[in-house]
Amino acid sequence: MGKRGKKYEEKIQNVDKLKKYNFEEAIQMALDCSYAKFDEGVDVAVRLGVDPRHADQMIRGAVVLPNGIGKDVRVAVFAKGEKEKEAVDAGADYVGSEDLVEKIQGGWLEFDKAIATPDMMGAAGKLGRILGPRGMMPNAKLGTVTFDVARAVKEVKSGKIDFKVEKAGIVHAPVGKVSFGLKKLLENIGAFLETIQKMKPSTSKGTYFRSIAISTSMGPGIKVDPVYIKELFRA
């Protein structure tokens, strides 16, 4: 591992590596450790007691964070007819059908999220190799393949995030920016973890939330004791 910068080393001196903080302490510590000149993102990493190799323990979903993620999300919608107008009226940045598919096949990728109506998935499906690896492919399970285009666009624009457990049982998610402050970040993290709690598989045995860490883009990970999750939900 390369040598850490001087500012990072200065900030990490304030972090007790052996201590597991409660959520308020961890968020505040992460904010205090922020040192970049830009508005750093804030992320949460959760290690779950699941084995993603088993289909019934694959945790994947989406949640609309109450305070958004602090980013202007560019949305592309595959639709036609009345649904095309509905997407435009809802605030979609790019809307099209076969023409939009051809544009993306040509190398254009100036958007962050894609939504498609079910009748457009035959055409949009051609983009699997392009959008799939980037996590941008419309997916019914995530609410991005739907005829309710207006709702889908507004949710994505307002701060809807997708998440998926990795092979090691870890779920990563962006939950805002340093500029959000303690209260808004606490609300976003609470909504994210509550969604994951509701998705707990019946086949998952033992401790579900194994470990949690909060960090900014450039700062160290601050460990949270999972015992405080119930307290977070009550708040």
Q: Report all structural domains of the chain as residue ranges with CATH numbers, in order of start.
A: 19-69+160-234 (3.30.190.20), 75-158 (3.40.50.790)
β-bridge pairing 209-216 and 41-48: antiparallel
Average pLDDT over residues 41-57: 95
* C-alpha to C-alpha distance for 103 and 56, rounded to whole angstroms: 37
Q: 92 falls in which pLDDT band (50, 70, 90)?
A: very high
Amino acid (1-letter code) at residue 72:
D
Q: Please give the angle made by the CA atoms of 32, 62 and 125, to the nearest 5 degrees.
A: 130
What pLDDT score was predicted for residue 16? 73
Q: 43: number of CA atoms within 13 Å, CB side?
A: 16
Average pLDDT over residues 197-215: 93
Q: 219 falls in which pLDDT band (50, 70, 90)?
A: confident
Q: 231 falls in which pLDDT band (50, 70, 90)?
A: confident
Q: Which two tokens stand for residue 207?
A: 């401790």
Which residue in 148, 130, 159 sits closest to 77, CA to CA? Answer: 148
Amino acid (1-letter code) at residue 20:
K
Over the stretch 94-131, which tens digit does the pLDDT of each residue have?
A: 999 999 999 999 999 999 999 999 999 999 999 999 99
What pLDDT score was predicted for residue 234? 75
Higher pLDDT, 81 or 33: 81
Give the DSSP letter of residue 145.
Answer: B
Answering whether pTM is above 0.75, one says yes
What pLDDT score was predicted for residue 5? 67
| pLDDT > 50? residue 1 | no
